[in-house]
Structure 1
């Protein structure tokens, strides 16, 4: 049954496009509409602009771009597709995958030339699976926005998302690459950005898009929650929203859903991620509104592989809160001197590569009818915290009580934490032997160049990802899956971002972008693909709207 506006709802002037969500997808779509002479509106449920994009690492992963050519880096569309095929394990829609590879450069150049977004190639930063995967590259495919001086936002700064509680708005990927795992260099880079009032990473990307939208006179409304799509004569004709003033119906020729994932919707998490619960680094407004609204008008929900969705294992540090809730943080990987074990005290993955950890954590034993690697713990010795700190805790700062179990020997640690003591002691002895030889014979920790760059410590040789657990006391922190709005399931779309029904037919004038759109183009994952899918699908949707 079509959802119609109520007689009491107030009708507003029509738009060519209403973008629901103020992250990369929504803002890019609105900018594209404006550049083509149309009128767009961006509505945001949260109290500030920027969306999940502003809290992200800000990486955009695309191959064969003009930026690569300008940097003298060799790449091709076919190599990009070969690598995407490796990520997708034969499960992707080949037409959508080719569109991602062939048209990704188009949106980057559009935003560079028309909106003044200062994209740059991140040098010396390899694809996840380089060199083992076909088509993988040693550098060039990671794109990021140059540091953005926050004062450029003017009065909009008060409406832009505040400082990242995770610190990612002041340190970009180039800073992390240059630091080579040295926390002091990372801290110095952040201090320099703060002194110069510069935003980095996802904050720089979002701020650039917010500024470009404002310069084009695009209205951006916050505290505006989309609750229902309006369909008339078989087409989407508007969206019903809730604001402090009450319920309104906004008329439009098309709607783009760019609301992120569904981290804070427990029913969706259980249904699509197959988890009893999920903690999250995303804003609490990320509740799967796109699924709720679009399925009412016949949209199909499609799924990727849950084990390939980057729900990193992490924890909340007591006393640290965000949005009034415990501030959970996901681990990109264990630093040298740390391992991740299950209740048997056994390692089960390469701890320097979160993809391997996540996949193994999700493993289901059909004979035992359980997941043998759940629960899991991060275990480390007394050298770990003074050297690396722990996420938002700087090196040398003590752990607050209630986070970790600590003991003077491994047997006592295991007993107190609920880990098999014999298993843990045997695991640490074996692992320390690997560290002495510089090679992890069980899981190949430190063999991927990406892990060496992003998780390793270049001061440690020959393997920057390996460090022994030898000096007491020893620590164990229980880990839990932590989301970032990246989702296994989303709305099925075609290559133009048009939302599809279960019959494979487009729902007229309804589009989705970013994490709201199912990952049928790339069913696996590589960091930077989430932001890229937001930019590209938002751009392509807007082109389709303005061509009609």
Structure 2
């Protein structure tokens, strides 16, 4: 069979670029097809944090970490409702993948290491320029790419994927790697595969709304050749005030958060690895951020709360000017008393009053007797006017439904059998998250680990298959 390239990669984001570099290193010719007008995908839009263990960056901070420890954390957080063998591969290969990025020139400052989940070991590695480093390395390796090229069909012969069709043009290859990302910009796909997100209606949007082709193309392509879909209604939903279409991720630690019963239900400073799940477990899947006038004046003007990942990209949606404007236009509710505020948000006034009294007493004592929020910065709800803003967890940080793969990133059919010639990596996978998102940086971890695996394994298969023909 004649072929145009050894490997065709559908999608030019982080996973696709990583795959292309490894495939070239293995001696394969590579073409990357990207529907957008630029490379980088969701990786270029992210805060560029990578979750990884046993890294030189950790060791520079005197941190001893292992793949076993990372695996125990991830599977425990997911309640074992996850693909354990895929999790194991991610844990074992996360460190080597990060070291590989360092070799490409990406800098991960040791002083910025943080616990980006609810683990006790810092595994969140903030950085800058991951996408740029991948783009440069792919170019240097001789990877070819075509922008503005949206693949609409996989070519199959004798049960094997042998290429793609885009705009009526066919491109034949020894193997195809799907790295098209998730489906966060497709309302129809969200309705079908992420019903919890869809339940929030017009509040719902994805963090990568600036990447218009993250609409589930890879999932559809895989299904068209019988690929199995796993991870339905899994993924990451970030909390939001709904005051603007921005990436918030974190609730400000200075609010008091109550559910529709008027009770607190979480540590307001909880990482987004758990906060969104807690919000969506409440009645009506919503809550209210409560604060008073002195807190508005002082805390909302403290920019230390705006960018805990040191990404330089966080949007301070709870900052002073926006809140003042939102009070004026009625999006943030204002009241002269707790009882009046309770009436405006529709919760029982006695319950809310009791919640406020307990919270204030804890602030006075410098502790949180209920949820153990760090109380170094104390912001009681005591001096009117009082304010409330509805909060939901409905911003899609990552979709979790997608293709199933084995440890070599080969796509599996509905019966768990390998589809010859087809590989996948990145957010298009449905087996790399489980019921809980482990922590900030898992998206890039997935993209780098399985992108590298897919590139290497696909090149080996494509070159071997050519020899056998």
CA distance in 2, matches of 1:252, 1:120: 40
Q: Quick one: structure 1 residues 126 and 543, their matched pair in 2 at CA, closer, same or farther if it must change by over 3 Å? A: same
CA distance in 1, matches of 2:330, 2:447: 38
In terms of fraction of residues, the more helix-rich structure is 2
CA distance in 2, matches of 1:220, 1:419: 56
Q: Quick one: structure 1 residues 521 and 268, their matched pair in 2 at CA, closer, same or farther if it must change by over 3 Å? A: closer
Report the counterpart of residue 94 of structure 1 in structure 2.
Answer: 84
Q: Which blocks of at least 5 consecutive residues in structure 1 are unaligned? A: 1-11, 132-136, 146-199, 319-326, 364-370, 447-462
CA distance in 2, matches of 1:350, 1:259: 36
CA distance in 2, matches of 1:71, 1:291: 40
Report the counterpart of residue 362 of structure 2 in structure 1.
Answer: 434
In the TM superposition, residue 15 of structure 1 has moved relative to its aligned partner by 2.0
Q: Quick one: structure 1 residues 256 and 475, their matched pair in 2 at CA, closer, same or farther if it must change by over 3 Å? A: farther
In the TM superposition, residue 311 of structure 1 has moved relative to its aligned partner by 0.3
CA distance in 2, matches of 1:227, 1:424: 54
CA distance in 2, matches of 1:466, 1:504: 53
Residue 430 of structure 1 aligns to a residue whose secondary structure is helix
Question: Does the 8 A contact of 1:279 with 1:328 survive in 2?
Answer: no
In the TM superposition, residue 539 of structure 1 has moved relative to its aligned partner by 0.3
Q: Counterparts of 1:261-276 in structure 2 under 5 Å?
A: 261-275=182-196, 276=199
Paired residue for 2:251, among 333, 347, 368?
333
Map Cα deviations across residues 408-434 of structure 1 (whole Å, 9 max, x no partner). Answer: 222223323334333322222221122
Paired residue for 1:506, among 418, 423, 441?
418
Q: Which blocks of at least 5 consecutive residues in structure 2 are unaligned? A: 307-314, 462-469
Report the counterpart of residue 376 of structure 1 in structure 2.
Answer: 287
Question: Does the 8 A contact of 2:155 with 2:164 survive in 1?
Answer: yes
Q: Quick one: structure 1 residues 61 and 13, their matched pair in 2 at CA, closer, same or farther if it must change by over 3 Å? A: same
In the TM superposition, residue 346 of structure 1 has moved relative to its aligned partner by 2.0
Question: What is the TM-score normalised by the length of structure 1?
Answer: 0.73
Report the counterpart of residue 357 of structure 1 in structure 2.
Answer: 275
**Is the aligned partner of 1:532 residue 2:449?**
no
Map Cα deviations across residues 34-73 of structure 1 (whole Å, 9 max, x no partner). Answer: 2222222222222332211122121111112344345543
CA distance in 2, matches of 1:120, 1:35: 28
CA distance in 1, matches of 2:456, 2:47: 27
Q: Counterparts of 1:233-252 in structure 2 under 5 Å?
A: 233-242=158-167, 247-252=168-173
Residue 441 of structure 1 aligns to a residue whose secondary structure is coil
CA distance in 1, matches of 2:398, 2:346: 31
Q: Quick one: structure 1 residues 268 and 422, their matched pair in 2 at CA, closer, same or farther if it must change by over 3 Å? A: farther
Report the counterpart of residue 454 of structure 1 in structure 2.
Answer: none
Report the counterpart of residue 158 of structure 1 in structure 2.
Answer: none
Residue 5 of structure 2 aligns to a residue whose secondary structure is coil
In the TM superposition, residue 301 of structure 1 has moved relative to its aligned partner by 0.8
CA distance in 1, matches of 2:195, 2:433: 22
In the TM superposition, residue 230 of structure 1 has moved relative to its aligned partner by 1.8
CA distance in 1, matches of 2:27, 2:218: 27
Question: Does the 8 A contact of 2:52 with 2:125 survive in 1?
Answer: yes
Q: Quick one: structure 1 residues 248 and 381, their matched pair in 2 at CA, closer, same or farther if it must change by over 3 Å? A: farther
In the TM superposition, residue 119 of structure 1 has moved relative to its aligned partner by 4.2
**Is the aligned partner of 1:206 residue 2:131?**
yes
Q: Quick one: structure 1 residues 233 and 97, their matched pair in 2 at CA, closer, same or farther if it must change by over 3 Å? A: same
Map Cα deviations across residues 294-343 of structure 1 (whole Å, 9 max, x no partner). Answer: 1111111111774xx3201213436xxxxxxxx2443412321x122222
CA distance in 2, matches of 1:521, 1:264: 19
CA distance in 2, matches of 1:382, 1:34: 59
Q: Counterparts of 1:293-372 in structure 2 under 5 Å?
A: 293-303=221-231, 306=234, 309-317=235-243, 327-336=245-254, 338-353=255-270, 354-363=272-281, 372=283
Question: Does the 8 A contact of 1:261 with 1:485 survive in 2?
Answer: no
Report the counterpart of residue 459 of structure 1 in structure 2.
Answer: none
In the TM superposition, residue 206 of structure 1 has moved relative to its aligned partner by 0.9
Question: Does the 8 A contact of 1:381 with 1:472 survive in 2?
Answer: yes
In the TM superposition, residue 225 of structure 1 has moved relative to its aligned partner by 1.9
Question: Does the 8 A contact of 1:492 with 1:499 survive in 2?
Answer: yes
CA distance in 2, matches of 1:414, 1:521: 38
| Greater relative contact order (CA < 8 Å, ≥ 6 in sequence) | 2
Report the counterpart of residue 228 of structure 1 in structure 2.
Answer: 153
CA distance in 2, matches of 1:331, 1:288: 23
CA distance in 1, matches of 2:362, 2:180: 45
Report the counterpart of residue 5 of structure 1 in structure 2.
Answer: none
CA distance in 2, matches of 1:491, 1:228: 16
In the TM superposition, residue 120 of structure 1 has moved relative to its aligned partner by 4.5
CA distance in 1, matches of 2:93, 2:320: 47
Question: Does the 8 A contact of 2:86 with 2:431 survive in 1?
Answer: no
Q: Quick one: structure 1 residues 476 and 298, their matched pair in 2 at CA, closer, same or farther if it must change by over 3 Å? A: same
CA distance in 1, matches of 2:149, 2:20: 16
Map Cα deviations across residues 86-131 of structure 1 (whole Å, 9 max, x no partner). Answer: 2232233332222222222332333433x34344545552353344
Number of residues paired by the alignment? 434
Paired residue for 2:43, among 36, 53, 57?
53
Question: Does the 8 A contact of 1:305 with 1:524 survive in 2?
Answer: no
Residue 249 of structure 1 aligns to a residue whose secondary structure is strand
Question: What is the aligned-residue RMSD (CA, Å)?
Answer: 2.6
Residue 258 of structure 2 aligns to a residue whose secondary structure is strand
Question: Does the 8 A contact of 1:84 with 1:522 survive in 2?
Answer: no
Question: Does the 8 A contact of 2:335 with 2:385 survive in 1?
Answer: yes
Residue 518 of structure 1 aligns to a residue whose secondary structure is coil
CA distance in 2, matches of 1:488, 1:392: 27
Question: Does the 8 A contact of 1:18 with 1:256 survive in 2?
Answer: yes
Map Cα deviations across residues 331-360 of structure 1 (whole Å, 9 max, x no partner). Answer: 412321x12222222222222113443223
Report the counterpart of residue 466 of structure 2 in structure 1.
Answer: none
Report the counterpart of residue 476 of structure 1 in structure 2.
Answer: 388
